[in-house]
Structure 1
Amino acid sequence: MTVTVLVPDAHGVAALSAVSGVRVVQYDPDDLPVEAVDAEVLVPGFLSADKVRLVGRLPRLRLVQLLTAGAEAWVGQLPADVMLSTCGGAHGGSTAEWAMAALLAVYRDIREFEDSRRAGRWDSHQTETLQGKRVLVVGAGDLGQQMRRKLEAFDAHVTMVANTARDGVRGVHELPELLPEHDAVVLMVPMTAATRHLVDRDFLAKLPDRAVVVNAARGPVVDTEALLVELTSGRLRAALDVTDPEPLPEGHPLWTAPGLLLTPHVAGSCTGVHERAYKVVAAQVERYVRGEKPANLVLGDY
């Protein structure tokens, strides 16, 4: 038995050609190859805009295997007999690296020193340090665990939070009592109905003065208007790789908000991203070919 897998690029062809029992076919969403009629597995491009057009044109489709850890654009969009699997495990290290860089830039005044250099000004002053900071990591999956490992290497004190409490991880219901005790909160949760505006006015109000909010999840996890109030007042600081809305439109107040480090959704966009993603994809497809369910299968809102 041979399973036909549609992939969006040459990276996918190279990675999946080594998987036994697979016929890998590169596709153009505007001009599907003749092999598409037999395709059981679809690997969409990193941007998921082709889902509506493609799914209905693949009569034998049984699995959509994503290149991203986030699946919110696909949840609820597929027929009941089509499985959805994420690329969880591929981007945790690079995303945690971005969050570390953001925290270090904020605490060590890297941007301010660069501004002084551009102005030709020798602005020697004492900064904060990540050492000893109490950091709350919301999300205890691959991203969260990668974040914990990196933070502890910098001698920060880490508290993990997940939906359900377990050994070494606190429950999300404990957030109200945890927030006042932490200097920074790093968001690494999937985008679901439950996490939309998780960080709202009440959440932010419980953080201590000068706390840092780091969003490495999805923009709508944070209530943008509530965050802007705290940034404008100067009470809180933030680092965002994702925004709501996204892309950030011209003239939006986040562009000029004080105390904000902003990057354009690039935490996972670094060298080796395709290799890391397709390594996970290949493992999920191998399981499917063996008649097993993918390990990263999305169930419900995931």
Structure 2
Amino acid sequence: MFALEDAALIGELFGASDLGRLRDLVRLDPHVVTRADPRVPRAAARIEILITGWGAPHLDGPALDHWPELRAVFHAAGSVKRVVSPALWERGIRVSSSAAANALPVAEYTLSMILLSAKRALHTADAFRRGQDMAAAQPRGRFGAYGITVGIVGASRIGRRVIELLRPFDITPVLYDPSLSATEAADLGAPLMSLDGLLRVSDIVSLHAPSLPETRRMIGAPQLAAMRDGATLINTARGDLVDTDALLAELAHGRLAAVLDVTDPEPLPPGHPLFTAPGVTLTPHIAGSLGNELSRVGHQTVDEIARYVSRGSLAFEIHRRDLATIA
């Protein structure tokens, strides 16, 4: 059985081949629990595997009472935090997430924005379009990707993948993650630094930390002030990692630039100052899997179900303890 935002999402996640594989592995119940029709059918009483996605209901105790035989939840999306509850593990229900598949396009988006920001391409394109003067739109000062330092905040799946993607370039990555040792960071290919130290040496800072009470507004006025003149802040993680008012103040002075795929608040209300702030590139939360990238998420989900059905194992299992550190 599926539980997600809309039944149409099933076709975007699972192509004909993957749906065929899925039907060979399990007996698929035709009912889809959606946001528009959240009613759980009587057939749920015999369901052992639930496939969730974006917009799935919160699986707390009362919700799980509809699925008394449920043994595993396979989340065909990114973070499971909005879907899961402790009741799952208390009832012995296993959880798997396709966050690893969703991490790939986020890392690719981040790499592209690192390179474009280093070249000042985003600002230059906007200036050229508005002024229609090639000479006047040329970037000034120190720019380019050769020999720059990129600070990665958070050794998440995405942060680690960004470090890997930077290897072919003449770019030095540095890393902040309080959960890692210096040896573990070195094994990833980036020296471990304090957050303040990373901010002071980085030309571009990319955020990949989870949203936790201790990370809320971890990039505030003091941290932004520590960044180098002309540096760029990229946020594809969670909007509340950044103090928006403090960032707006730095942008207004023209000292920093920013690329924001996530914001606080999100969505931004019409007329919000970020829409007109200088030096900021806003994208509408597109870094994660969209379009044909959704097929990768669905493919990984079917692979995971195949492992579970054939061997009882999960390659991407989420444990209750993981909730304290994942995005």
Query: Normalising TM by the smaller chain, what interval?
Result: 0.7 to 0.9
Distance of aligned partners of 1:297 and 1:119 in 2 relative to their CA distance in 1, 3 Å threshold: same
Contact 1:7 1:13 survives alignment (8 Å): no
Task: Quote the residue 2:33 is aligned against.
Answer: 28
| Cα distance between partner residues in 1 of 2:246 and 2:42 | 51
Task: Quote the residue 2:113 is aligned against.
Answer: 102
Q: Which structure shows the bigger proportion of residues in helix conformation? A: 2
| More divergent stretch after superposition (162-171 vs 46-55) | 46-55
Distance of aligned partners of 1:51 and 1:106 in 2 relative to their CA distance in 1, 3 Å threshold: same
Task: Quote the residue 1:134 is aligned against.
Answer: 149
Taking structure 1 as the reference length, the TM-score comes to 0.85
- Could you tell me how far 1:246 is from its partner in structure 2? 0.9
For 2:28, what is the secondary structure of its paired residue? strand
Amino acid corresponding to residue 220 of structure 1 in structure 2: D
Alignment of 1:61-140 (within 5 A): 61-74=70-83, 76=85, 78-79=87-88, 80-81=90-91, 82-111=93-122, 112-117=124-129, 119-123=131-135, 125-126=138-139, 128-140=143-155
- Could you tell me how far 1:63 is from its partner in structure 2? 2.9
Distance of aligned partners of 1:200 and 1:71 in 2 relative to their CA distance in 1, 3 Å threshold: farther
Q: Which runs of 5+ in 2 are unaligned?
A: 5-9
| Cα distance between partner residues in 2 of 1:73 and 1:171 | 33
The counterpart of 2:54, out of the listed 46, 49, 71, is 46
Distance of aligned partners of 1:48 and 1:115 in 2 relative to their CA distance in 1, 3 Å threshold: farther
Q: Which runs of 5+ in 1 are unaligned?
A: none
| Cα distance between partner residues in 2 of 1:243 and 1:203 | 17
| Cα distance between partner residues in 2 of 1:94 and 1:104 | 15
Asked whether 1:257 is paired with 2:277, we answer yes
- Once the two structures are superposed, residues 87-115 of structure 1 have per-residue CA deviations (whole angstroms, 9 ceiling, x without a partner) of 12212221122122223333333343344
Alignment of 1:238-277 (within 5 A): 238-277=258-297
| More divergent stretch after superposition (186-195 vs 175-184) | 186-195
Distance of aligned partners of 1:167 and 1:267 in 2 relative to their CA distance in 1, 3 Å threshold: closer
Taking structure 2 as the reference length, the TM-score comes to 0.79
For 2:99, what is the secondary structure of its paired residue? coil
| Cα distance between partner residues in 1 of 2:205 and 2:133 | 33
* Aligned residue pair count: 298
Contact 1:44 1:65 survives alignment (8 Å): yes
Distance of aligned partners of 1:49 and 1:197 in 2 relative to their CA distance in 1, 3 Å threshold: farther
- Could you tell me how far 1:59 is from its partner in structure 2? 2.4
